Amino acid sequence: MRTDCGYGGQQTFIKEAFVTRTALNHSQAVAVIGAGPAGLMAAEQLAAAGYAVDIYDAMPSVGRKFLRAGIGGLNLTHAEAFDTFFTRYSHSDMVLPWLHDFGPDRLRSWAAALGIETFTGSSGRVFPVQKKASPMLRLWLQRLRQQGVRIHTRHRWTAWRASAGTCRLVFDVSASGQPTQSREVTAMAVVLALGGASWSRLGSDGRWQSMLAQAGVVVSPFTPSNCGFDYPWSEFMRLHFAGQPLKSVALSVDANSPQWRQGEAMISRHGVQGGLIYHASRTLRQRIERDGFTQIYWDLLPDRTLADIEGILAQPRGKQSQANFLRKRLAFSGVRAALLHELAPESTHDPGNLARSIKCLPQRLHSARPIDEAISTGGGIVAEELDKALMLRRLPGVFCAGEMLDWDAPTGGYLLNACLASGRVAGQGAVAFLQGGGADP
């Protein structure tokens, strides 16, 4: 059956482009669209197998989101036990085979072969010794170019058209100060690694959804993940504490049976964000979708027990103000004290209520920040549309990888590891397809 897809007023018959395959022509390139980690990894697999590879990216330079992720120290993966590691992912049934092929240990070995030494931090997160993304990207691009991979920037994919045994791809090509021109190229197979829908200024804008939807590919709507949440702070809180980190605190999403996670967060102008919030964001977002709101709970002194705090607060403070007493006896001041006064001002009048509020301070949230501000996205191409090699069942010869697939994970190395692993699977799947392996069940 032919898949008939209209785009830009033209009819494209995508499925037929790959169903009738001719004998392999090594002079004809494979196209990888998207030059983030997943796309680069897919290109590496194809080039290592001897295929000519062209990478196309809409941005003026490659790996922009990868470089942005490395500003605070590039978190490559996580060193926790694998049985725990893979549970961090939504749709883990889809992701698990990728991680078996390219999990944390193999990722570190791959980085070492690239010339990047890694270390494990106290949190279990794995970083390059230099803690930067740019040296790693530079070495990686150097190796790809040595393999013959050609990279074309300022190429935005806009359409595809069929011809016997190949696919013709159409790009809008822009150059500084020059009018946009249309370019058509031919490929024997295509790997799509176009990202999700967050941080569009870095290239992930989700525009590809309409083209795949027209081909009948089911795409789950994108939702923000690893994102901040809105809260209507007082003007005093915004003025004095926006941008301030909440350090040495813990967070729970359930007061009745709390599972506290200790770490850091941040007060933003619009609400709350940071590592603890990002880790809980999937649960928080789902509860908001279900109930219209969600509740989080702060432990502002996780290293102190409730009984310990109650005992200290029961002591006479003499002529000291409450603020000075808390600062001197509990090291409790600054943004933590401000958060307490903002969310539970009445608790400061009674020592028992004050102690309980310090240990379990509720905050109600009603909305996530916009998707373009999110570190990553949930949603994307659903697993049922893909075979084990990450080839689209409706479009033989078209493979997909990275955040454009319907999986999700918290920050901490999980996102990047799965992007690289999926790129490896898709690249190897394209190699098998070109060598006559056909589609996986």
Is 70 exceeded by the pLDDT of residue 372?
yes
What CA–CA distance (Å, rounded) separates 83 from 250?
A: 24
Q: What is the pLDDT of residue 13?
A: 32
Q: What is the pLDDT of residue 131?
A: 87
- CB contact set of 27 (below 8 Å; sequence gap of 6+): 52
Q: Which position has the token pair 């806009």?
A: 158
Q: What is the pLDDT of residue 262?
A: 93
Q: What is the pLDDT of residue 14?
A: 39
Is 60 exceeded by the pLDDT of residue 378?
yes
Q: Which residue has the higher pLDDT, 11 or 420?
A: 420
Q: Tell me which fold the domain 4-224+375-434 belongs to.
A: FAD/NAD(P)-binding domain (3.50.50)
Tens of pLDDT, residue by residue over 116-174, are 999 999 889 999 998 889 999 999 999 999 999 999 999 999 998 755 567 889 999 98
Q: What is the mean pLDDT of the chain?
A: 89
Of 91-95, 105-109, 110-114, the poorest mean pLDDT is in 91-95
Is 50 exceeded by the pLDDT of residue 23?
no
Of 237-246, 258-267, 432-441, the poorest mean pLDDT is in 432-441
Q: What is the pLDDT of residue 162?
A: 57
- pTM metric for this prediction: 0.86
Q: What is the pLDDT of residue 41?
A: 98
Exposure string over 21-55, b if 16+ CB within 10 A, otherwise e: beeeeeeebbbbbbbbbbbbbbbbbbbebebbbbb
Average pLDDT of the residues in 175-187? 85
Is 90 exceeded by the pLDDT of residue 370?
yes
Average pLDDT of the residues in 336-352? 90
Q: What is the pLDDT of residue 24?
A: 36
Q: Which position has the token pair 């990275």?
A: 402
Is 90 exceeded by the pLDDT of residue 359?
yes
Tens of pLDDT, residue by residue over 192-229, are 999 998 888 888 889 999 999 988 999 999 999 999 99
- The full set of domain ranges for the chain reads 4-224+375-434, 229-365
Tens of pLDDT, residue by residue over 37-90, are 999 999 999 999 999 999 999 999 999 989 987 677 899 999 999 999 999 999
Q: What percent of the chain has pLDDT over 70?
A: 91
What CA–CA distance (Å, rounded) separates 166 from 24?
A: 11
Q: Say which amino acid occupies 302.
A: P
Q: What is the pLDDT of residue 436?
A: 86
Q: Which residue has the higher pLDDT, 232 or 179?
A: 232
SS3 labels along the chain: CCCEEEECCEEEECCHHHHCCCCCCCCCCEEEECCCHHHHHHHHHHHHCCCCEEEECCCCCCCHHHHHHCCCCCCCEECCCHHHHHHHCECHHHHHHHHHHCCHHHHHHHHHHHCCCEEECCCCEEEECCCCCHHHHHHHHHHHHHCCCEEECCEEEEEEEEECCEEEEEEEEEECCEEEEEEEEEECCEEECCCCCCCHHHCCCCCCHHHHHHCCCCEEEEEEECCCEECCCCHHHHHHHCCCEEEEEEEECCCCCCCCEEEEEEECCCEEECHHHHHHHHHHHHHHHHHCCEEEEEECCCCCCHHHHHHHHCCCCCCCCHHHHHHHHHCCCHHHHHHHHHHCHHHHHCHHHHHHHHHCEEEEECCECCHHHCCEEEEEECHHHECCCCEECCCCCEEECHHHECCECCCCCHHHHHHHHHHHHHHHHHHHHHCCCCCCC
Average pLDDT of the residues in 12-35? 55
Average pLDDT of the residues in 288-305? 96
Tens of pLDDT, residue by residue over 400-422, are 999 999 999 988 899 999 999 99
Q: What is the pLDDT of residue 73?
A: 80
Average pLDDT of the residues in 272-281? 94
Tens of pLDDT, residue by residue over 426-437, are 999 999 999 986
Average pLDDT of the residues in 334-352? 91
Q: What is the pLDDT of residue 165?
A: 65
Least Cα distance to 439 among 1, 19, 28, 14 occurs for 19
β-pairing, 245-252 vs 261-267, is: antiparallel
Q: Say which amino acid occupies 312.
A: I
Q: What is the pLDDT of residue 238?
A: 96
Q: What is the pLDDT of residue 441?
A: 54
Least Cα distance to 362 among 380, 377, 342, 376 occurs for 342
Q: What is the pLDDT of residue 242?
A: 96
Is 60 exceeded by the pLDDT of residue 328?
yes
